[in-house]
Structure formats: structure tokens, C-alpha cells
């Protein structure tokens, strides 16, 4: 038996012949030619111009957005300045209101003080008038009581000390005095 050599390696048998070609072009040349054709079609269909136009449109949109953002920023700054001035104005108004309120409160306190003093003075005068009226009333009652007591005492004294003859003399004397006037 003849022995055949056994190959245990994973060697790929190499082709020793010519490379395959298509239309006379080997693989790298064919790929290069295909790339040139694709690039020519892209240029012929104006794909770079379309890409440039798309990029220009995108740039224009971004510029418009930036311009809008800048105008919005200016508006926001104007609004901020306006609100800051309004806040300062509100602070001034608040201070003016507080000052006016303090002034009005001082006036109210002063008026209440003068009103209270006037009320105390009026009530004092009323009390003094009432006391004076009560004193006059008491004096009148005292005089009346005194006059009544004097009249009763005089009547009692007259009744005890005078008799009818003395009464007649007194009446005659009173009549003469009245007639002499």
C-alpha cells in the first residue's frame, strides 16, 4: 500500500492561477471604478449642492432661532428692568404709605388725647356743676328747713310770751308802719 501524506493542518489550498476578472478588471480596480461611477452620479445629481442647500437652510433656521433668542433676551431684559423699576417704585410707595400711616396714627393719637382731655374736662365741669346744684339745693332745703323751724319756734315763743294785748299792739304798730309808707 502506498502511503498518502495526511494533512492535519487547516491550510487552504492556494490557487496558483490568474485572479478572476470582470470586464478585464481585477477586484480592486473594479471597486475603484464603481466608486468613481457612484461619485460621478452623486455629482451629476447635484447631491453636494442639495446637501449644501440643506445645510444652508439649517444654518438659516439656526440663525433665525438665535436672532429670536436674542430678541427674546432683550425683551426679557427690558421686562426685568421694568419690573425692577416697578419694584423700586413699589418700595418707595410702600415707604410713603408707611410714613403716611404713621403720620395718620400720630394724628389719631393726638386727636384722641385732646378728645379725651376735652371729655375729662367736660365731665369734670358737669360734675362740678352737679355738685354746685346739689349744694344750692341743699342750701335751699337748709334755708327752708331753718325758716320753717324759725317760724315754728317764733310761733311757739310768741304763743308762750305774748298774750292777746301784745298781739294787738304788734298789729297796730305794723298797720301804722304800712300806712306811713
Q: Where are the domains of the chain?
A: 28-163
Among 74, 92, 107, 109, residue whose Cα is nearest residue 66: 74
CB atoms within 10 A of CB 162: 13
CA distance 138 to 134: 6
Question: What is the reported pLDDT for 51?
Answer: 84
CA distance 34 to 27: 10
Q: Is the pTM of this model over 0.85?
A: no
CA distance 36 to 85: 68
Question: Strands, E, within 59-174: which ranges?
Answer: none
CA distance 87 to 77: 15
Per-residue model confidence as pLDDT tens digits over 39-51: 888 777 777 788 8
> 30: exposed, middle or buried (C-beta count within 10 Å: 0-12, 13-18, 19+)?
middle
pLDDT at 95 exceeding the cut of 60:
yes
Amino acid at each position: 500500500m502506498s502511503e498518502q501524506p495526511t494533512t492535519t493542518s487547516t491550510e487552504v489550498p492556494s490557487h496558483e492561477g490568474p485572479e478572476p476578472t470582470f470586464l478585464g478588471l481585477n477586484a480592486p480596480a473594479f471597486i475603484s471604478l464603481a466608486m468613481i461611477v457612484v461619485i460621478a452620479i452623486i455629482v451629476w445629481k447635484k447631491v453636494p449642492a442639495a446637501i449644501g442647500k440643506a445645510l444652508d437652510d439649517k444654518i438659516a433656521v439656526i440663525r433665525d432661532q438665535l436672532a429670536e433668542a436674542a430678541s427674546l433676551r432683550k425683551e426679557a431684559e427690558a421686562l426685568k428692568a421694568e419690573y425692577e423699576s416697578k419694584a423700586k417704585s413699589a418700595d418707595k410707595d410702600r415707604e410713603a404709605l408707611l410714613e403716611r400711616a404713621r403720620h395718620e396714627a400720630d394724628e389719631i393719637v393726638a386727636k384722641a388725647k385732646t378728645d379725651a382731655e376735652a371729655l375729662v374736662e367736660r365731665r369734670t365741669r358737669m360734675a362740678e356743676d352737679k355738685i354746685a346744684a346739689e349744694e344750692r339745693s341743699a342750701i335751699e332745703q337748709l334755708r327752708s328747713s331753718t325758716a320753717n323751724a324759725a317760724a315754728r319756734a317764733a310761733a311757739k315763743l310768741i304763743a308762750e310770751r305774748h298774750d292777746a294785748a301784745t298781739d294787738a299792739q304788734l298789729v297796730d304798730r305794723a298797720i301804722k308802719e304800712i300806712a306811713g309808707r
